[in-house]
Structure 1
Amino acid sequence: MEPNITLPPFHGKDNVETYLYWEMKVEQLFSCHRMSEERKVSLATLSFQEHAMYWWTSLEKERRINHEPLIQYWNELRSALRMRHIPPYYDRELMDKLQRLKQGSSSVGEYRKSMELLMMRAGIREEERTTISRFQSGLNLEIRGKFELLPYRNLNDLVQLFSRVEHQLKRKGHITSQCPTKKTMVLKAQGHYSCLDEATSSSSSSEDEAIDSEEEILPCEGDLLLVRRLLSNQSSEIDLSQRENLFQKKCKVLENTCSLIVDSGSTSNCCSTRLVEKLALTTKPHPKPYKMQWINEKRGIVVNQQASIPISIGKYKEEVLCDIVPLEASHVLLGRPWKFDKNTIHDGLINKISFQHLGKKFVWCPL
């Protein structure tokens, strides 16, 4: 004898998420109680209330008038409900939301839940490394930028690590990007980290002048001046932490804050496919298409498009021609062509890059 169960009520409101939650809960109860097919439809329709009840009564009447067979199985009822409550553009809308999903003001845990829910709703099945890249690319820069190169075993490890960083920042009462007193996350053994004050903004004007004189560059405006001065006051321990870091920096592309990496190991300047699509940048065919292959991929990707990226960092403004590739670690990657054209000098100890542009000397400092 089958047990008596009570299904959650369904009111038939035009809300996709409400319907899908109800459907999932009903199927969970059916599976748990091993409900027979003969009872599923009657139990489900008994839970209908208000508009859902009117819709079901109307549907049965219409089928009788048209001499169509009545719905007897759950799969048939579910299909009719989905046709009624899920619009045809829903899958496409899910994919768009997933592509645009960013952490924003959400916590790391909430951001992960949102991503997993969208993937589940869209029926996406992918390798974990692809999901990890998707997860990392949507994280806030102040969290992602500190640990982008850390080793991890799976997505759970990565989420726990980023959650710890976020908790540390919140415990201090602020998020790094919103605070005038920046913090540097220093990686230690076994994945532990500490938070160090880089400097305060109360340095005297005489110290600023001494720094400018020592580096023999014109003062930079805004964030560049602040970053350069703070890094000059850092302890040797923080300088040593740059030993295994790539040069990473924030830049502006059409007034949007983007991540930038300078890497001597890249034989081309590159930009992210996602950046080009989101900002609707103009593309042009690559004069010499080539195939790019990652270490863990058997098949490479063909690079056959380029775009001019208008980069600005403080007073530095320039359009850089970049190959369009599916970058995940950064929006823009400046490689050997840019370093060659600018005749850059890289100070490996403190990870600074200096160069001349339009007759002015610039010194870039890392994040």
Structure 2
Amino acid sequence: KKELLTKGKEIIEREVQLFVLEEEIQKVKQQEAKLLEKLKQKKKSHKGSNSSTSHEEVGSLNLDEYYQPTPRRIVREPKVIESRIDLPSFHGKEDVDAYLDWEMKVEQIFTCHKVWEERKVPLTTLAFQGQAMYWWTTLVRERQLHNDPPIEYWNDLRSAMRRRHIPSYYSRELMDKLQRLQQKNMSVEEYRQKMELYLMRAGIREEERLPIARFLSGINFDIRDRVELLPYRDLDDLVQLCIRVEQQNLRKIYFKKDKTHSSSYVKKDYKREDQFSKYDSSKNFAKV
């Protein structure tokens, strides 16, 4: 009995599916007939056209267009065209500060122009001249002889150049300069720039209170004694206060010099007048 029931259900489901399919086929035929009628009307309105196609072909084409899925929109990314990049030339002289300035400038240009990693080494080596060009040629030949991989990335080239141009004792010497740094005859702004340069070259990153203490320890006493009594928020605020005190001190010195100069000038004039009066009195006495 169960088998008969399942078979009966299957037969009923098949009949329902056939019925649904027949309805869909009729709907498609109706749509096709409507499309054919529209095409006939268009042909009548455009009698002057020379194109002639059969109703079946046109109907099938229009049906294909009717059931065609919507095309996907292809978004084409614009091609990135790199502009011409001219790096500053490098001659390979034994000057650590000059090399570090050149390296910093090159990295700024790479960041600004968004240079690809594959182009950095060729662009950099094109900027080599003189001793630097000879060193690079020798390095490439030595790596080929020893079957070492070529230098293809900027970090590897920078490491090789630093081994060449920066001595091993440079960081220790830089720290000594930083510890002994004093303002002396420099202006406040010059002193601050030199301190920041040493910190950057040494790769030191300190908390905000440490650079302030370092700055105050090396500034001149006449400025520090007055600034320590004033409130400030950070290093920039402290530097501005020091500059104001420095300008006040310069004005005082200039005022004192101007005052001494004017007083000396008055004394000279007084001496001259005294001499002239004595000379006139001697003349009058001779006449008498």
Q: What SS does structure 2 have at the residue aligned with 1:111?
A: helix
1:140 maps onto 2:220 in alignment? yes
Match of residue 109, structure 1, among 170, 186, 189: 189
| Alignment partners' CA distance in 1, 2:130 and 2:139 | 15
The aligned counterpart of 1:216 is none
- AA matched with 2:160: A
Match of residue 167, structure 2, among 77, 80, 87: 87
More helix by share: 2
Match of residue 108, structure 2, among 28, 49, 53: 28
Query: Based on CA coordinates, which of the two structures has the bigger radius of gyration?
Result: 2
Q: What SS does structure 2 have at the residue aligned with 1:165?
A: helix
The aligned counterpart of 2:73 is none
Match of residue 172, structure 1, among 236, 252, 262: 252
By how many angstroms is 1:174 displaced? 5.5
Match of residue 129, structure 1, among 202, 206, 209: 209
Identity, in percent, stands at 62
Matched length = 178
More strand by share: 1
Q: What SS does structure 2 have at the residue aligned with 1:172?
A: helix
The aligned counterpart of 1:159 is 239
Q: Show CA shifts across 1:316-337 (max 9, x none).
A: xxxxxxxxxxxxxxxxxxxxxx
- Asked if 2 retains the 8 angstrom alpha-carbon contact of 1:169 and 1:175, the reply is no
- AA matched with 2:167: P
Match of residue 46, structure 1, among 126, 133, 143: 126
| Alignment partners' CA distance in 2, 1:10 and 1:113 | 25
Aligned ranges 1:225-244 → 2 under 5 Å? none
Q: Show CA shifts across 1:19-42 (max 9, x none).
A: 001100001100111100111000
| Alignment partners' CA distance in 2, 1:172 and 1:147 | 17
| Alignment partners' CA distance in 2, 1:174 and 1:18 | 38
By how many angstroms is 1:54 displaced? 0.6
Moved segments of 4+, more than 6 Å: none
By how many angstroms is 1:151 displaced? 1.1
Q: Show CA shifts across 1:214-265 (max 9, x none).
A: xxxxxxxxxxxxxxxxxxxxxxxxxxxxxxxxxxxxxxxxxxxxxxxxxxxx
1:69 maps onto 2:149 in alignment? yes
1:149 maps onto 2:229 in alignment? yes
- AA matched with 1:145: D
| Alignment partners' CA distance in 2, 1:73 and 1:125 | 27
> Using a 3 Å threshold, how does the CA distance of structure 1 residues 47 and 172 change in structure 2: closer, same or farther?
same
Aligned ranges 1:229-308 → 2 under 5 Å? none
Aligned ranges 1:213-224 → 2 under 5 Å? none
- AA matched with 2:226: K
The unaligned stretches of length 5 or more in structure 1 are: 182-367
- AA matched with 2:119: R
| Alignment partners' CA distance in 2, 1:157 and 1:175 | 27
The aligned counterpart of 1:58 is 138
Q: Show CA shifts across 1:173-226 (max 9, x none).
A: 4599xx9x9xxxxxxxxxxxxxxxxxxxxxxxxxxxxxxxxxxxxxxxxxxxxx
The aligned counterpart of 1:3 is 83
1:12 maps onto 2:92 in alignment? yes
| Alignment partners' CA distance in 2, 1:119 and 1:126 | 9
The unaligned stretches of length 5 or more in structure 2 are: 1-80, 260-288
- AA matched with 1:10: F
Task: Give the TM-score of the pair, scaled to structure 1.
Answer: 0.47
By how many angstroms is 1:171 displaced? 2.6
Q: Show CA shifts across 1:156-183 (max 9, x none).
A: 111001101111222334599xx9x9xx
The aligned counterpart of 2:177 is 97
> Using a 3 Å threshold, how does the CA distance of structure 1 residues 89 and 175 change in structure 2: closer, same or farther?
farther
| Alignment partners' CA distance in 2, 1:80 and 1:123 | 18
Task: Give the TM-score of the pair, scaled to structure 2.
Answer: 0.60
| Alignment partners' CA distance in 1, 2:209 and 2:148 | 49
